[in-house]
Amino acid sequence: MSVFFSYIVLGLSLAAPIGPVNAAQIDRGIKSGFWHSWLVGLGATIADAIFMALVYFGVVRFIEMPYVQLFLWIFGFFLLVYLGIESITSAGKVIEHKRSSAQESKIKSFFAGFFMSLFNPLSILFWLGIFGSILAKTITVNDTFHVMLYCMAIFIGITIWDFTMAVLSSTMRQLLTNKFLFLISMISGFSLIGFGVYFGYQALSIIFF
């Protein structure tokens, strides 16, 4: 049982590093509350589950093709820059969002997290490298049942982290001052744009170098 919990901790560790999804969760949680932030995380978690399945079934060579990686970098660039600009331009509406979150689309929040993770080459390489090596070691010493059990534990850890982020960001929405919420929203927006610019640079490096 201790091994199972260690894989849950591993899932928490995989989800914890600050990246585009966490930045988007904070932004949505502040502006629209718990459910929108959680749905961003849920969408990203579903994408993570797809990566786990791809690694498990060995479907990785397609992702390693240069043209596929170029598409992912470019798509990620446009998506993150768009979400970042949207976050910055709507930062002044935090007060209005605090009064009512019904105007926001929950489906939009879910797919924002899903596509942000699904078309994130860093996330793909991360799963291929980290989870791939973990899976290779796990398969050599465990049967199929235990491998699936440990994969589930990793998934549980990721889900716990997303839930925690949603709770924290929505709590900040209620407790912090409007000026501070505005500042956090702006920082989240510029953070997303920063990740997007990095993605764009990686796309250009593939084309010209």
How far apart are alpha carbons 133 and 175 in whole angstroms?
Answer: 42
**Residue of 132, 109, 95 whose CA lies nearest to 44:** 109
- CA 192/CA 185 separation, integer angstroms: 11
User: Whole-angstrom Cα distance, residue 151 to residue 38?
Assistant: 21
25 domain-assigned:
no
Residue 43 lies in a domain: yes
Q: How many domains does the chain have?
A: 1
Alpha helices in the chain (DSSP H): 2-15, 20-32, 34-56, 66-89, 94-99, 106-118, 121-126, 132-141, 144-175, 178-208
Does the residue 158 lie in any domain?
Answer: yes
Domain around 51: 2-15+30-208
pLDDT digits (tens, 9 = 90+) for 124-151: 766 766 676 667 667 777 787 888 888 8
Q: For residue 2, with 0-12 CB atoms within 10 Å meaning exposed, 13-18 middle and 19 or more buried, which class applies?
A: exposed
pLDDT at 99 over 60: no
> 24-62: per-residue pLDDT in tens?
888 888 888 899 999 999 999 999 888 888 877 776 566
Band (pLDDT 50/70/90 cuts) for residue 101 is very low
Residues of the chain with pLDDT > 70: what percent? 81
In this structure, how many other beta carbons lie within 10 angstroms of the beta carbon of residue 153? 18
The tens digit of pLDDT for each residue in 158-171 reads 899 899 989 988 88
Angle at alpha carbon of residue 47, lines to 50 and 14, rounded to 5°: 95
Q: Which residue from 144, 131, 159 is spatially nearest to 43, judged by alpha carbons?
A: 159
Residue 174 has pLDDT above 80, yes or no: no
Q: Are 26 and 37 in contact (CB under 8 A)?
A: yes
Structural domain includes residue 21 = no
* Domain contains 133: yes
CA angle at 200 for the pair 195 and 204, rounded to the nearest 5°: 150
* DSSP H or E segment with residue 120: none
Determine, yes or no, domain membership for 23: no
Torsion, Cα 37 39 44 46, to 10 degrees, reads 160
Q: Is residue 24 part of a domain?
A: no
Distance from C-alpha of 128 to C-alpha of 64, rounded to nearest angstrom = 10
Q: Residue 36: its pLDDT value, please?
A: 92
Cβ atoms of residues 24 and 113 within 8 Å:
yes
